């Protein structure tokens, strides 16, 4: 394990150099990895592990759309694709990659197959951290581990195919066999992680829920809407408002940040842009800091988890979700975005 220094703060990390893929394959040689769920994270992790030479099977409800997707991705019914309980019985490592709500629903069927010596793997700390609400309490004689890629399963797969990787966090909740560390790191390398940084289940879910509701999704959409609507109120066209709000950020500036950091992006902008950004950043930070404190407290108290459990378990959840997403999709801002994207040179 290596230590990285972040401005005086040291973190434990594992890189591909110190834990190469060949070592991971050797450690997993006698393991059967059962991917339970083929929705968001399942396909990317399953296919990356398979392509990296691991023994992988998939468990999914027969007749579902995700079963059909698994078949189209090359998983063979009766050989590498099974019903959930059969896959769980066959697996020595159970990667529990269903949605949080589905994990709660399926847990009574899964738990009998978590026999001594197996490992239960998560990519989100939700079910374990809030187990007083989810009922997910693993047996004491299995390993309970986590690898959480810092991005979607689609991004994990795309970057893997490009020869790159997403960074991931890892955690050990329970080490019953003495092999939990080797198992979690081998799996993290196997799914294509860039590097793995240490956390625990609670910190993972607190940071994840805060990030999703904050800068990764909720806050950024709110900021987009506020700026776009301000420009439109003052007479700017949809094309101008969208390009200045979203297109320039995502297509020009954020790639510069990803490449070398915010200071490098600033250095590659006009002096007028630099001055304005530096003058206004503190005002924006101070304005939203109380909102982030409220958000983090809502996560830490379990309020956000309970809202998610309550809404996602409703029988009409999917219909309501589609209604909300449709409203977003059909807003003027994202209608403008559809047109702008179609006019990018690479789309022609």
State mean pLDDT over 328-333: 95
Say whether pLDDT at 297 is over 60: yes
State mean pLDDT over 263-278: 93
Say whether pLDDT at 5 is over 80: no
Band the pLDDT of 175: cuts 50, 70, 90.
very high
Residues in the chain: 348
Band the pLDDT of 196: cuts 50, 70, 90.
very high
Instruction: List, for residues 181-193, the tens digit of each pLDDT value.
Output: 999 999 999 999 9
CA-CA-CA-CA torsion sign (115, 28, 1, 42): negative
- pLDDT given for residue 346 in this prediction: 65
- The percent of residues in the chain predicted with pLDDT above 90, rounded, is 88
Spatial contact of 177 and 205, defined as CB atoms under 8 Å apart: no
pTM above 0.85, yes or no: yes
Distance from C-alpha of 184 to C-alpha of 180, rounded to nearest angstrom? 6
Instruction: List, for residues 70-108, the tens digit of each pLDDT value.
Output: 999 999 999 999 999 999 999 999 999 999 999 999 999
SS3 5: strand
SS3 63: coil
Distance from C-alpha of 62 to C-alpha of 81, rounded to nearest angstrom? 9
Instruction: Give the chain's mean pLDDT.
Output: 94
Spatial contact of 39 and 124, defined as CB atoms under 8 Å apart: no
Strand pairing report for 93-96 and 9-15: unpaired
Say whether pLDDT at 342 is over 50: yes
Say whether pLDDT at 306 is over 70: yes
Q: At what angle do helices 303-312 and 201-213 cross, to 10 degrees?
A: 70
Catalytically annotated residues: 124
Band the pLDDT of 7: cuts 50, 70, 90.
confident
> What domains does the chain contain, in order, with CATH numbers?
2-200 (3.40.50.720), 211-347 (1.10.1040.10)
């Amino acid at each position: 394990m290596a230590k990285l220094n972040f401005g005086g703060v040291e973190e434990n990390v594992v890189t591909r150099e110190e834990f190469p893929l060949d070592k991971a394959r050797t450690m997993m040689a006698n393991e059967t990895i059962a991917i339970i769920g083929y929705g968001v994270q399942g396909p990317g992790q399953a296919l990356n592990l398979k392509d990296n030479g691991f023994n992988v099977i998939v468990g999914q409800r027969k007749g579902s759309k995700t079963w059909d997707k698994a078949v189209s991705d090359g998983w063979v019914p009766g050989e590498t694709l099974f019903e959930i309980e059969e896959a769980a019985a066959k697996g020595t490592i159970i990667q529990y990659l269903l949605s949080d709500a589905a994990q709660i629903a399926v847990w009574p069927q899964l738990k009998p197959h978590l026999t001594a010596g197996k490992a239960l793997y998560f990519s989100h700390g939700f079910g374990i951290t809030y187990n007083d609400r989810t009922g997910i309490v693993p047996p004491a004689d299995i390993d309970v581990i986590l690898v959480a890629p810092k991005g979607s399963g689609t991004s994990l797969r795309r970057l893997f195919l490009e020869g790159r990787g997403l960074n991931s966090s890892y955690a050990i909740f329970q080490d019953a066999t003495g092999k939990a560390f080797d198992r979690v790191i081998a799996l993290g390398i196997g799914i294509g992680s860039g590097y793995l940084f240490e956390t625990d289940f609670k910190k993972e879910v607190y940071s994840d829920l805060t990030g999703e509701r904050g800068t990764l999704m909720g806050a950024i959409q709110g900021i987009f809407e506020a700026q776009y609507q301000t420009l439109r109120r003052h007479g700017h066209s949809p094309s101008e408002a969208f390009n200045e709000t979203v297109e320039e950020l995502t297509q020009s500036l954020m790639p510069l940040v990803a490449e070398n950091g915010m200071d490098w992006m600033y250095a590659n902008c006009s002096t007028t842009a630099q001055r304005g950004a530096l003058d206004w950043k503190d005002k924006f930070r101070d304005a939203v800091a109380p909102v982030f404190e409220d958000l983090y407290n809502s996560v830490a108290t379990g309020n956000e988890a309970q809202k998610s459990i309550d809404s996602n378990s409703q029988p009409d959840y999917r219909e309501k979700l589609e209604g909300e997403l449709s409203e977003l999709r059909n807003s003027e801002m994202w209608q403008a975005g559809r047109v702008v994207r179609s006019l990018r040179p690479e789309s022609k």
